[in-house]
Amino acid sequence: MDFDPVLLARLQFAFTIAFHIIFPSFTIGLSAFIATLLIRWMMTGREHLHRLARFWTKIFAVSFAMGVVSGIVLSYQIGTNWSRFSVVTGNVLGPLLGYEVLAAFFLEASFLGVLLFGWKRVPPWLITMAAIFVAIGTAISAFWILAANSWMQTPAGHELRDGIAYPVDWLAIIFNPSFPYRFLHMMTAVYLTTSLVVLAVGARYLLAGRHLEEGRTMMRMAVGMLALLAPLQLFIGDQHGLNTLKHQPIKIAAMEAHWDGSKPGALVLFAWPDEKAEVNRFELSIPGGASLILKHDANALFDGLKSVPPVERPPVVPVFFAFRIMVGIGLVMIALGLLGALLWWRGRLFDARWYLWSASQSWWLGFVAVISGWVVTESGRQPWIVHGILKTADAISPVPAATIAGTLALFVVVYGIVFAMGIYYINRLINAGPQGRAIEPPEKGTLGRPLSSATDAAREALAKG
């Protein structure tokens, strides 16, 4: 059998990074949620807020640990799979990635330690400060990684000498044209992701008739976030799209399955893009809709896929469908947020069982939306790994396809076992609820490193059966 090393290297990297992104997109928002709970607890003194903060800190710990573990792999995989990319962009991207690692490293070594094991040793206000710093620190980590990714989409502030990128202006590199949009879009996405998980857990408790006080608080905070952020995300996403149209028009053409640039773009609701025939099959669309959104004029023109030869186009099918999944989920989030707000206003948020049930099923939506969004932006960038500078096919390491295929299989097996166990423990923790050892401080002499404190709570959860 003949393997394509480029495809395999991409598959392997996509697998490990998709696994990794699940955890940060949860922990960034969760750390902010915990900090908010603690601030509210400091201000009101209501004990259930304290219980909730402790409970979610345990879940945060195990998620953060899995994020770190899967992140270590990535810091080596850039070299194992993309050595030519490392050479060409190392001068520019190296420091951005380095700062990301330092930020995460620094956090784990300092404030997270205080947050996890400090409950009996330091005063509450210091714990609250540590939680705030963890929330800021995870956001800083995201800042650097998104700066690096945005530079790959819209490179700026560099010069090319003998095909190697050299930094000229660090501010221009960091704040490259797509960075502000991508950063806002991603941060809103991760806060929405966490809100949905919190909403689902709160709804689950209310449906089961236990932990009512905690469940109500979680529902109220999550509905508030969703009602605010989900509509805002629609606006930010739209602005991000306009920015992409300016810098990466072919990505937009793939997202909209827009082939012919000489006609206005239709808003394609469903279709099967046929890349060989360069048309959409089974198309259901609103004529002029895409032009209206992107150009604010139903008759305006924008570049179609046919404006570049086929080798310059991204794969249309994954980009097109991933975009529709992301937007579809975004609309569901808006519905959940606004309906929840309406019920809250009517005083029926905790009684409407149909809403509680829908909410309790919605925990996975954010994760799928985030991964879909990444498929859109990363696949949409193809055939480039760094837009206009380096093609993905030229970026790979001199490693035979069979080696990559073999290690890919190993990754699937090991990650499958390890992360299945981790998610199983998180689920047990959530089932056990904010009580017992899940919220107790560690025993005397314990240092709550992320995984060990999770272990502690998991033992409790298991003991309950």
Partner 1 sequence: METYLPEIWAALIGIAVALYVILDGFDLGVGILFPFTHSDAERDQMANSIAPFWDGNETWLVLGGAGLLVAFPLAYAVIMPAFYIPVIVMLLALVFRGVAFEFRSVARTSKVYWNVAFAAGSTLAGFCQGVILAGMVIGPKVENGAFAGGPFDWATPFAALCGLGVVAGYALLGATWLVMKTEGTVADRARRQGKLLLLVVLAFMAAVSLWTPLAVPRIAERWFSLPNFYYLWPIPAVTALVAFLGWRALERGGEITPFFASIGLFLLGYLGLAISSYPYLVPPSLTVRQTAAAPSSQMFMLIGTLFLLPVVLGYIVFVYWLFRGKVREGEGYH
Binding partner 1 by CB under 8 A: which of 7, 47, 72, 126? Answer: 72
Give bridge partners of residue 284 from the DSSP assignment: 270
Give bridge partners of residue 165 from the DSSP assignment: 160
Angle at 146 between CA 142 and CA 149, to 5 degrees: 145
Q: How far is the CB of 77 from partner 1 (least distance, A)?
A: 8
Pick between residue 97 and residue 201 the one whose CB is nearest to partner 1.
97
Pick between residue 64 and residue 191 the one whose CB is nearest to partner 1.
64
Pick between residue 237 and residue 450 the one whose CB is nearest to partner 1.
450
Binding partner 1 by CB under 8 A: which of 36, 80, 285, 307? Answer: 80
Task: Name residue, tokens 């990714």.
Answer: 149
Other CB atoms within a 10 A radius of the CB of residue 444 amount to 6
- Give the span between the Cα atoms of 188 and 190, in whole angstroms: 6
Which among 382, 402, 403, 385 is positioned nearest to 394, based on CA atoms? 385
Quick note: the x/- pattern for partner 1 over 109-138, rule CB under 8 A, is xx--x-------------------------
Q: Which part of the chain contacts partner 1 (CB under 8 A), choosing from 78-86, 177-185, 232-240, 274-282?
A: 78-86
- Residues 186-245 touching partner 1, rule: CB under 8 A, are none
Q: How far is the CB of 407 from partner 1 (least distance, A)?
A: 5
Q: How far is the CB of 402 from partner 1 (least distance, A)?
A: 8
Which among 253, 275, 277, 276 is positioned nearest to 266, based on CA atoms? 253
Burial of residue 333 (CB within 10 Å: 0-12, 13-18, 19+) is buried
- Residues 369-398 touching partner 1, rule: CB under 8 A, are 397-398
Binding partner 1 by CB under 8 A: which of 14, 36, 42, 167? Answer: 167
Binding partner 1 by CB under 8 A: which of 87, 293, 301, 317? Answer: 87
Please report whether residue 423 would count as binding partner 1 according to CB under 8 A. no
Quick note: the x/- pattern for partner 1 over 431-450, rule CB under 8 A, is ------------x-xxx-xx
Other CB atoms within a 10 A radius of the CB of residue 312 amount to 13
- How far does CA 247 lie from the centroid of its chain? 23
Q: How far is the CB of 301 from partner 1 (least distance, A)?
A: 42
SS3 (DSSP) at 275: coil
Q: Burial code of 75-106, b = ≥16 C-beta within 10 A, e = fewer?
A: eebbebbbbbbbebbbebbebbbebbbebbee
Pick between residue 435 and residue 446 the one whose CB is nearest to partner 1.
446
Task: Name residue, tokens 């560099």.
Answer: 158
Pick between residue 197 and residue 454 the one whose CB is nearest to partner 1.
454
Q: Which part of the chain contacts partner 1 (CB under 8 A), choosing from 254-262, 332-340, 363-371, 412-420?
A: 412-420
- Give the span between the Cα atoms of 157 and 165, in whole angstroms: 10
Please report whether residue 42 would count as binding partner 1 according to CB under 8 A. no
Binding partner 1 by CB under 8 A: which of 192, 197, 365, 454? Answer: 454
Task: Name residue, tokens 């606004």.
Answer: 338
Q: In the chain, what is the straight-line distance between the N-terminal and C-terminal CA atoms, in Å?
A: 48
Please report whether residue 157 would count as binding partner 1 according to CB under 8 A. no
Please report whether residue 407 would count as binding partner 1 according to CB under 8 A. yes
Q: Which part of the chain contacts partner 1 (CB under 8 A), choosing from 162-170, 180-188, 281-289, 430-438?
A: 162-170
Amino acid at 19: F
Please report whether residue 422 would count as binding partner 1 according to CB under 8 A. yes
CB-based contact 15:411 (threshold 8 Å):
yes
- Give the span between the Cα atoms of 212 and 52, in whole angstroms: 12
Those residues with Cβ within 8 angstroms of residue 51's Cβ, 6 or more apart along the chain or in another chain: 214, 434, 435, 439
Other CB atoms within a 10 A radius of the CB of residue 180 amount to 15
Size of the site for partner 1 (CB under 8 A): 67
| Residues lying near partner 1 in the complex (CB under 8 A) | 65, 68-73, 75-80, 83-84, 86-87, 90-92, 94-95, 97-99, 101-102, 105-106, 108-110, 113, 166-167, 170, 397-400, 402-403, 406-407, 410-411, 414-415, 417-418, 421-422, 425, 443, 445-447, 449-452, 454-456, 458-459, 462
